[in-house]
Structure 1
């Protein structure tokens, strides 16, 4: 598998926060020792942010392990926090905004405060498919790239209206209400192009956890921009032949 384009990330409008009750005694990284932190899954974005936050505030690996990340379905995180089943809850997007509107909670930190703008996830494609269907791959990736840049340059209300239109047109009985809370895809690089730094963040975290050996994985071996033909000079409906960066060794 090879990553071909970033499709979501973190910025001042699209972020996840680690929230506590307003009267919680938790005010610092050290206060998280022995506390339960609810998040959507383990071994991924939220757990990495938690570890990085604790590391940056000087906690030892032994103390970091005493903070207890737990899997809590996102739709139940606010309720679990308010009922004190967990002491910290990770909230993002519509769930974050609704919880903040209700009140009674405050952020301990957010991933945006921690790391600023960064692309956090990519589409990955089977290498065999890329080899056998390069034109299809290029059409797919470049289309996503154009959508990212269109959304970045277009008024928010218009982007939301287009998303609602698309959902209604495909007729899958999907609700459109959450789309009204959309603010940003959070993709940091132009057209979703991938750079080493996006993967190095996770490589370094996995190495510190002992999941991989230091130097075992090279960031540039994990992705390619070969199929991303977007150019700033492109019009929204005009194909591009922009020069791209190929995956190492491909």
Structure 2
């Protein structure tokens, strides 16, 4: 295992079908396959501090057994999570669809198997400015400095597509300076004037909404509407070496997403808080307390072509014609998902 993936934490400033259970023990030998660095009986992964991933939720609900999950530490970067899965340090990862597209277009042997996040009417990332500043429109951002979680990733794509939608020229958009800021300190960086605006998601977005000194200019939901923007990936070699394990992992996680989509939010929050407290990783329950919806807009995380295609125009604008021109179906598969419909789910 890579030394960077030893146990660490970056704390920066219903049951499975009887038939499947019966078949799994015979296909889950402990030995690794010569085709892949993983094993059939467990999947290694990186977590997010204070967040319960949907595979973790599936495990807690009893859907994942007899497969086991092996936590190797935490990350705050979807791109780093993709890299770890691609190199075989972990067996699944989660990231922005645009980053997945870029990686696959460059030849990475991975495939998205489930949508795990996006924007809906209850949960969405947004652009924040200081209320005392004169910034109120997309045009006001010309030449300004904007804080994002990771450069060349989801937040940067969101901002640039927002500016394009509001009629800014290429030169005006390229005048903006993007600064990578860990989300845990992004709000304070904005309040102290280190940046002119920040993009905040998840709990950081919900907390910022309660700060009377901040103003939200727009949201991903306002720009894109309800849609999936992030996915879970598996390595192609893992799928080929252990197809039954890949299917079971995907089915279990899809069931967990469906559970969270159809369970009253208060009950989901209570369950998530309990899981975080009981896993003893020394993390805050704040994200779980602010949980409002899955933000996955299709039942069970079914992936639609538009979940990837919507970002191809951004890559074309940036001159990456290969990523922009590949068919959307190149990046994902729904073959393992028990949900075989693009039915849109309205959050409770």
Q: Pairwise CA RMSD of aligned residues?
A: 1.8
Q: 1:203 to 1:180 in 2, by over 3 A?
A: same
Does residue 261 of structure 2 align to residue 152 of structure 1? Answer: yes
DSSP-derived class of the 1:102 partner? coil
User: Counterpart in 1 of 2:228?
Assistant: 119
Give 1:215 shift: 5.4
User: Counterpart in 1 of 2:64?
Assistant: none
> Could you give the per-residue CA deviations for residues 85-115 of structure 1, whole angstroms, max 9, x where no partner exists?
1111112222222233231111111111111
TM-score in terms of structure 1 length: 0.87
Please identify, of 90-99 and 137-146, the stretch whose mean Cα deviation from structure 2 is larger: 90-99
User: Counterpart in 1 of 2:208?
Assistant: 99
DSSP-derived class of the 2:179 partner? strand
Does residue 177 of structure 2 align to residue 68 of structure 1? Answer: yes
Rounded Cα–Cα distance in structure 2 between residues aligned with 1:213 and 1:141 = 29
User: Counterpart in 2 of 1:192?
Assistant: 301
User: Counterpart in 2 of 1:174?
Assistant: 283
> Could you give the per-residue CA deviations for residues 211-245 of structure 1, whole angstroms, max 9, x where no partner exists?
33475321111110011124xxxxxxxxxxx699x
User: Counterpart in 1 of 2:153?
Assistant: 44
Please identify, of 14-23 and 98-107, the stretch whose mean Cα deviation from structure 2 is larger: 98-107
Indicate conservation of the 8 Å contact 1:138/1:229, yes or no. Answer: no
Rounded Cα–Cα distance in structure 2 between residues aligned with 1:139 and 1:204 = 34
Give 1:9 shift: 1.1
Give 1:65 shift: 0.1
Indicate conservation of the 8 Å contact 1:134/1:227, yes or no. Answer: no
Does residue 317 of structure 2 align to residue 208 of structure 1? Answer: yes
Give 1:30 shift: 1.4
Indicate conservation of the 8 Å contact 2:202/2:287, yes or no. Answer: no
Rounded Cα–Cα distance in structure 2 between residues aligned with 1:170 and 1:29 = 43
Please identify, of 157-166 and 30-39, the stretch whose mean Cα deviation from structure 2 is larger: 157-166
User: Counterpart in 1 of 2:166?
Assistant: 57
Give 1:59 shift: 1.1
Rounded Cα–Cα distance in structure 2 between residues aligned with 1:219 and 1:18 = 28
Name which structure has the greater RCO, CA cutoff 8 Å, separation 6+. Answer: 1
Q: 1:44 to 1:215 in 2, by over 3 A?
A: closer
Please identify, of 189-198 and 89-98, the stretch whose mean Cα deviation from structure 2 is larger: 89-98
Moved over 6 A (4+): none
